[in-house]
Amino acid sequence: MNKNIVCIGAGYIGGPTMAVVAMMNPDRKVVVCDIDAKRIAAWNSKKYELPIYEPGLVDVVRSVRGRNLFFTTDIKKAVKECDIVFVGVNTPTKMFGRGAGRASDLQFWEATAREIKVCAEGDKIIVEKSTLPVRTAAAMSAILNDHAKHEFIVLSNPEFLAEGTAINDLLRPDRVLIGGPDTASGRAAVAQICDIYAGKGGRWVPRERILTTNVWSAELSKLAANAMLAQRVSSINALAGLCEATGADVDEVARVMGTDHRIGPEFLKAGPGFGGSCFKKDVLNLVYLCEMFGLHTAAEYWTGVIKMNDHQQARIVSRLFKEMFNTLANKKIAMFGFAFKADTGDTRETPAGYVARLLHEEHVRLVITDPKAMENGRRDLADLDGIAWERNPFKAAKDADAVLLMTDWREYPALDWAKIFRSMRKPALVFDTRNCLDAKALRKLGFKVLNIGK
């Protein structure tokens, strides 16, 4: 029998993942719930004005919504009627009490577990989709199964998609990871989740790409994968500073390193540092776990990855300061891009946000433009006065002393930079923190150009 699926949490993970699950499993009903009524209304909007921007997502939702994919705020009813519950609620860094600033805040998770227990009218498989500290499944299982009328099996199925490429990552994942208890019912539950990812008629993820482990390995592998990726970004950014000091070119160094198949070419792009909702939170979480287990040197090691990232953003402002005659007060800077990476409207932990705050402290007249992240950005910086937002990059750059490119949106290299140069105050500076513009061509036009790691 094809079991019905519910996902609690209709965010960047719950929405796209379940849309693809529904597309690949047309004979299963998939219901996505959230306590945020506005978000659910957006997922259900007639004009498909979805709550998040993700290339290709609208087409997938269009093909399944109302067929076997549904969005609702009625969590009780959805849980009652399903067999498998994915939980993809947010797990932000805890900001109070023990572990403040490092540990995960698990209050949403625990609330969700209690809610499931109250609504359930039969046995259920609970699947952790959120990124959680190691051994959360044990805590969840204890809450769910304490004096329970039904059996709850808790599995870990962390998600590895990256924003901006979510649909492709979901359709063609490097691997799917399912961790479960090594008991008869645990193994049977893991097999059921494997079936979902295999898709109807085995047309989705090939079996050899579905990895199964124990629950703790699955929980830790997710934190470990993000920490290793974040560490690569911090490593290349640490080298970028050295390149600037010595005359080496970080893109050349990365190219050379990347051709060694043991290192590989990806995740070696120097830039303004990593942003996004997960890298910082997950590395901090790993730091907290290390501390909890008395592994203080390991905790310090991973803390270095975050320190390097913060330093990279401070360095951007220092370089601007130096190049703009040691005063930024009242100068106009046009920030091109606010999203934490291209192809997303997400601004959580975006380097642009930190840099904007540092520039604001220097009394810069800041104008920010972004094709998809203006709404989120405005909300993030609502506490700062005097920041202007302008959809049109040409208008943003008019009379500016500098353009500071923070996000490598595809359209930026294609802009008419001669027109931008003409409209700016002179000397006109471009600081391309993503090394995505043609610096040579810009210099020919008369710009002074700064890059990262060159």
Binding site for ligand UGA (CB under 6 A): 131, 159-163, 226, 229, 233, 267-269, 271, 274-276, 278-279, 340-341
Alpha helix (H) ranges present in 362-450? 374-380, 393-397, 417-423, 439-445
Q: Is 159 in the site for ligand NAD (CB under 6 A)?
A: yes
- Of 208, 203, 199, nearest to 21 by C-alpha is 199
Q: Which residues of 118-154 are buried (b: 16+ CB within 10 A; e: fewer)?
A: ebbeeebbbbbbbbbbbebbebbbebbeeeeeeebbb
Residue 208 is given by DSSP the state G
User: Is 82 among the residues known to form the active site?
Assistant: no
Which among ligand UGA, ligand NAD, none contacts residue 369 (Cβ within 5 to 8 A by kind)?
A: none
Which among ligand NAD, ligand UGA, none contacts residue 287 (Cβ within 5 to 8 A by kind)?
A: none
Kindly list the strands in the beta sheet with 332-336, ordered across the sheet, starting from the edge strand earlier in the chain.
388-389, 365-369, 332-336, 402-405, 429-432, 448-451
Q: Is 111 in the site for ligand NAD (CB under 6 A)?
A: yes
- Of 250, 389, 404, nearest to 317 by C-alpha is 404
Tell me the angle at which helices 215-246 and 250-258 cross, rounded to the nearest 10 degrees: 140
Strand, helix or coil for residue 363 = coil
Kindly tell me which of 39 and 232 has the beta carbon lying closer to ligand NAD: 39
Among 2, 4, 36, 310, binds ligand NAD (CB under 6 A): 36
| 154, β-bridge pairs | 126
Which among ligand NAD, ligand UGA, none contacts residue 268 (Cβ within 5 to 8 A by kind)?
A: ligand UGA
Rg (CA), the chain: 24
Binding track over 234-273 against ligand NAD, x by CB under 6 A: ----------------------------------------
First and final CA of the chain: distance in angstroms? 60
Residue 277 is given by DSSP the state S
* Helix (H) or strand (E) segment spanning residue 341: none
Kindly tell me which of 24 and 177 has the beta carbon lying closer to ligand NAD: 177
Which among ligand NAD, ligand UGA, none contacts residue 340 (Cβ within 5 to 8 A by kind)?
A: ligand UGA
Kindly tell me which of 66 and 265 has the beta carbon lying closer to ligand UGA: 265
Contact 126, 116 (CB under 8 A): yes
Distance, CA of 95 to chain centre: 19
Among 7, 13, 84, 289, binds ligand NAD (CB under 6 A): 13
Q: Is 89 in the site for ligand NAD (CB under 6 A)?
A: yes
Q: How far is the CB of 252 from ligand UGA (least distance, A)?
A: 15
Among 5, 11, 144, 334, binds ligand NAD (CB under 6 A): 11
Restricted to residues 199-238, the positions that interact with ligand NAD (CB under 6 A) are none
Kindly tell me which of 348 and 365 has the beta carbon lying closer to ligand NAD: 348
143: amino acid identity, one letter: I
Q: Is 10 in the site for ligand NAD (CB under 6 A)?
A: yes
Q: How far is the CB of 96 from ligand UGA (least distance, A)?
A: 23
Q: How far is the CB of 260 from ligand UGA (least distance, A)?
A: 16
Closest-approach residue to ligand NAD (CB): 11
Report how far apart, in Å, the C-alpha atoms of 322 and of each of 287, 351, 413, 420 are. Answer: 35, 20, 25, 23
Listed in sequence order, the residues at least 6 apart from 159 whose beta carbon sits closer than 8 Å to its beta carbon are 13, 17, 88, 129, 131
Q: Determine which one of 7, 119, 278, 436 is catalytic.
A: 278
Q: Is 91 in the site for ligand NAD (CB under 6 A)?
A: yes
Q: Is 133 in the site for ligand NAD (CB under 6 A)?
A: no
Residues forming the site for ligand NAD (CB under 6 A) = 8-14, 33-36, 39, 75, 88-91, 108, 111-112, 130-131, 159, 161, 163, 277-278
Catalytic residues: 278
